[in-house]
Amino acid sequence: MNSSLFISYFLFCLVMTSTPGPNNALVMLSGARFGLKKTLPLILGIACGVALQLIAIGMGLNQVFQWFPALQLLFSLIGTAYLLWLAWKIAMSGPLQITLEEKPAMGFVQGAIFQWVNPKAWIMSISTIATYFAVNPQFNAIVYAALILLLISIPCVGIWAVAGKFLRRLLMQPKFACIFNLSMALALLLAVLPACLQFIRLQA
């Protein structure tokens, strides 16, 4: 990867990981409810999950989807259904309570697995392979790109947990908690819909 390509890819990763999406909505909610320390495993899981997904797609999963387009569509539908359910759960959750703090936050494994039902993560991985490795998909280059994505994801996703932490006390107030939960649910839906539409267009 030459310098101009590296800068292009770096900016692509920066924009894709720092802008609102399902990952950032979950991390912000977790930061607000459980604090930054308990949210760190989720952040690391997300970063590793997107990196592994990029490697998997680059090493042949994308080819499998080209052979069986229905399989890719099935993944998209399952992911969308899960995220809709998740948005509903967030919208219906009440104000922050002491008992909620004792519940386990989403951890490393859940964060990594979540990427496989996250339409935005799929779009990012497929776009990376199609844009930067369509001509020469070498394993070393793809692993290098995945490592860059992992390192960029940690601070760009983590900043959302910091933002959530500052809202912690306000979330104990029922009115603010209701507005916040509904806003996060709506943000999750708005983040999912464009990715889903683009995903469906790829099938056409």
Q: Which residues 6+ apart lie within 8 Å of 194 measured at CB?
A: none
pLDDT of amino acid 15: 78
pTM beyond 0.75: no
30 closest CA partner among 44, 12, 14, 11: 44
Q: What's the CA gap between 98 and 112, in Å, rounded?
A: 27
pLDDT of amino acid 72: 64
Q: Which residues 6+ apart lie within 8 Å of 161 measured at CB?
A: 27, 28, 30, 31, 36, 39, 40, 43
CA 183 to chain centre: 17
* Tokens 């306000």, located at residue: 170
E strands of 66-171, at which residues?
Answer: none
pLDDT of amino acid 108: 94
* Residue 198 token pair: 């683009």
Cα atoms in the Cβ-side hemisphere of radius 13 Å centred on 155: 6
pLDDT of amino acid 175: 83
Mind listing the pLDDT tens digit of every residue in the chain (204 residues)? 667 778 888 888 887 788 777 888 889 888 888 888 889 999 999 999 999 999 988 887 667 766 777 776 676 666 667 667 767 877 776 665 544 445 556 889 999 998 888 877 887 887 787 777 765 667 888 899 999 999 999 999 999 899 888 877 777 778 887 887 788 777 767 766 665 565 556 555
Spatial contact of 116 and 23, defined as CB atoms under 8 Å apart: no
pLDDT of amino acid 58: 83
CA 159 to chain centre: 14
Q: Which residues 6+ apart lie within 8 Å of 192 measured at CB?
A: 22, 80, 83, 84, 87, 119, 120
195 closest CA partner among 132, 123, 145, 139: 123
Which of the 8 DSSP states describes residue 134?
A: S
* Residue 22 token pair: 């399902």
pLDDT of amino acid 83: 66
CA dihedral 21, 149, 151, 4 (to 10 degrees): -120
pLDDT of amino acid 98: 44
Q: What's the CA gap between 106 and 108, in Å, rounded?
A: 7
